[in-house]
Each structure stands twice: as C-alpha cells, then as structure tokens.
Amino acid sequence: MAEPLPLTTTRRPGIARTWAGRLAGIVFGLLLAWLLVELLIRLLFFSLPPRLQLVLQHVHKTPFSDARLLPDPIWQPDIDYLTITRPAHNRVQFGSAEVRFTVSTESLWGARLAFRTRQELVDRHVDGVAVGDSFTFCFTDEEDCWVQRLAQITGRNIINLGITSTGSLSHARVLTDFGLPLRPPLVIWQWFGNDANEDYGLAALRGETAVQSTNPAPLPPKRTWWDDHSALYVLLKLYLGQEDEFDATLQFHAPLYAEQGDVRLAFGEPYLLSAFDMTQPHNLDGWERGTAAIRAARAAVEEYDGRLVMLLMPTKEQVYRHLSEPLLGAEKLAVLDAPYQMMRDFCAAEGLTCLDPLLELQAHAQAGEQLYYTTDMHLNARGNEVLAQWLAAWMGE
C-alpha cells in the first residue's frame, strides 16, 4: 500500500509584509501620478491662464536641463544702463507667454550691449536715431516695429537704440555713447510713464540716491530646487495659502478683462499703478533725474544743430479708456494720467517738441482696432503700424 503523502501547509505572508507591498504600490501610484501631472502642466503651459503662466515661467522643462518653460530673455541687468541686450541672431524671444517674436541684435563698435539694428546701417549716413525702452525695442518681429516701419515709409536711415526696462537716464547714456557720435539730425526720444521709476531704480542700483520708497516693489523670494523643478509644487504653494510669495511675479498680472467686438484686453497690473504713482518720493526723485537728463541731451543735440523730439507712449488703459475706466475706476486712471500730464507740461515749459499720439491711437481704438496685446502692456504689430504712419505724416509736414 502506498504511503500517504505528507500534509503540506501554506504559510501566509506576515501582516507587515502585506502592508509594505500595499504601501509601495500606493507610493508608486502617487509618484506616477505626480510625474504625469508634471508632464501635463508642461505640455499645456502656453494654454494655461496668464496668472499660472507667470508663476510657472521659471520652472525648468526637465530636471536635467537649464531650459525653463519660458526661455530666459536676451536682456540682463547692468550697472550703467540698468538693462542691456545681448547679441542674438533670429532668436525666438518671449515678452510673456502670450507674446513671442523673432529677434536679431548686434553689438556696435564691440560694446557689451547690443541693439536691434546692424553695424552696416550705423556706418552709413544716419538720418535719425530712436532711443527708448521696450516700446522702441518693440515686442514684435523687426519688420513690424515702428522704428523700422518709419524708416521704410520715409526712406530714411533711422537707427533703433531702444532697450527694454530702461528710463530716461539710460536713454541719455545710450544716446551719448552710441547716438551722438553719429550726429543724427533727428533724435526721437520715446518716453513712458514708468521712466521716473526706472530712473530711480538705476540711481539706487548705483548707490547715487538716499531716497527710500514708501511703497517698495515686492522682492522675489529665494527659490528652492523644488520651486525651479516642480510645476505641481509651485501650484500647490500658490493655492494652499502662500500666494504672497508670488507678489513680485503677479504684480505684472492684469486680472480685469474687457471685450468689445474683436477687441479683448486685460487691465489692472499692480506694477503700473505703483510705477506711475507720482506721489511716491522715489518716483519724484527719478523724475528730477530723468528731466535733467533730457535737458542735457537736448543741449548736446542742439550743439551740432540736431533736433530732439519727445515721443510720449500712452498705456493701453489710457488709449482704451472707454473699456478700462469702468473696470479700474477714475481714481486709478488718474494715477496713470499723472506722469503723462507732467511730461506734457515739461515739454511746454522747456519748449520741447512733444509728439503725443494718444488721440490718434484712441481714434483707432474707438473704431474697434486692437492695438495692444491682450495680457501684455505693449503695442502689437497693428499698434506699431498706426504709430509709424502717424509719425511719418508728422515728418512729412
């Protein structure tokens, strides 16, 4: 008779081992979900609301590269000019996630800063130069910029010496170093309402002023590895009560939208209301420095019988007042109007030619044309064209 098989017993895994496996599965699922969300945010970045684009723009595309969701600009801080532009060739540049354009810049005479012009144009007879900030540099392709369009329309050689994020002190130094050696018969000095704020910023950077702001701009926080590499981490911070960490970035967010026909515009950037506030002592300090620089520049231009004219650049809130005032209120519009009127009065008192395109731009705005980007403060291609045609008519007269 065959012997019975021995009984076998199956040993059940221990409870600790079971739960360890379950926990590992949960952790793996969470990590996979995190990874998928990180990937999805990056893929959808340019479709996200502007507020989220602003807080995420510094996040790296991958943990293993330096490239960010919004590529670094070709301009950088500078002790002499506040900001300078680096040389570039056919580079796709972002003004914001909404605004992208192709840029080529060249250094002149081997200088460390570059301009949206070419040495070969500078080496010819120069009919005029334009100095200014990002409105002169233009947040458009080169052929759509008002400076280049003005040159094309009039058949004149007009050199673009605009640099983003600069004020009158910077414009004066650029003119002295790169414009006056050309002895241009015409100097177009583009001015924007934040110039006084930028002039104070340059003086403070150089340690040339003791004036303190009573309402200083928020400082960007120190970013950790997680801030730079995890989009989800940044969004969790934003939505879990740490929004004040993003004040420096969100000051450029315009939260109020107006639509009329084909026009869609966002208004209410905190930055503008702060930089244009001429009750602030630091802005008044910058105003005095900037206007002194304009006087000195005019004298230098007139020494060789050249002519300096001021070109005022209004905000989209002023141009589209019929849309912005119901959202912002008359009091905030008055803040934006104050430096504009101060410059008009300065021009009148100094006998300066002051070119004010506000009425021309407003006429096109009332006709239903969109002259500015929706979520960005700058003129779009159509706005640049309207400005160029208006300036060409003035030059013709």
CA 197 remoteness from chain centre: 15
pLDDT band at 85 (very low <50, low <70, confident <90, very high): very high
- Which residue, 104, 151, 145, is CA-closest to 128? 151
What average pLDDT does range 327-339 have in this prediction? 97
Q: Which two tokens stand for residue 150?
A: 């003005």
- Which residue, 298, 13, 58, is CA-closest to 176? 298
What is the distance between the alpha carbons of residues 379 and 394, in angstroms, rounded to a whole number?
20
What radius of gyration, in Å, describes the C-alpha atoms of the chain?
Answer: 27
Q: Are 307 and 186 in contact (CB under 8 A)?
A: yes
**22-31, 139-148, 309-318, 383-392: which has the minimum mean pLDDT?**
22-31
- Which residue, 265, 379, 259, is CA-closest to 314? 379
Indicate the DSSP class of residue 372: B
The DSSP code sequence of 28-88 is HHHHHHHHHHHHHHHHTGGGS-HHHHHHHTTSBSSTT-S-BSSPPPSEEEETTTEEEE--E
Q: How far apart are the first and last CA of the chain?
A: 126
Tell me which H or E stretch contains 191.
Answer: strand 186-192
Residues in the chain: 397
CA 248 remoteness from chain centre: 13
What average pLDDT does range 47-76 have in this prediction? 90
Indicate the DSSP class of residue 246: G
- Give pLDDT, residue 139: 98
- In the chain, % of residues over pLDDT 90: 80
State the pTM of this model: 0.91
Q: Calculate helix-pair angle for 358-366, 381-396, nearest 10 degrees.
A: 130
> Which position has the higher pLDDT, 260 or 23?
260
1 pLDDT higher than 60: no
89 pLDDT higher than 70: yes
217 pLDDT higher than 90: no
Q: Which ranges constitute the DSSP H helices of 57-178?
A: 119-122, 134-137, 146-154, 168-174
Q: Are 229 and 60 in contact (CB under 8 A)?
A: yes
Distances (CA, A) of 298 to 81, 125, 198, 294: 19, 21, 20, 6
What is the distance between the alpha carbons of residues 38 and 42, in angstroms, rounded to a whole number?
6
pLDDT digits (tens, 9 = 90+) for 261-303: 999 999 999 999 999 999 999 999 999 999 999 999 999 999 9
**One-letter amino acid of 185:** P
Please, is 99 exposed, middle or buried when counting C-beta atoms within 10 Å of its C-beta (0-12, 13-18, 19+)? Answer: middle
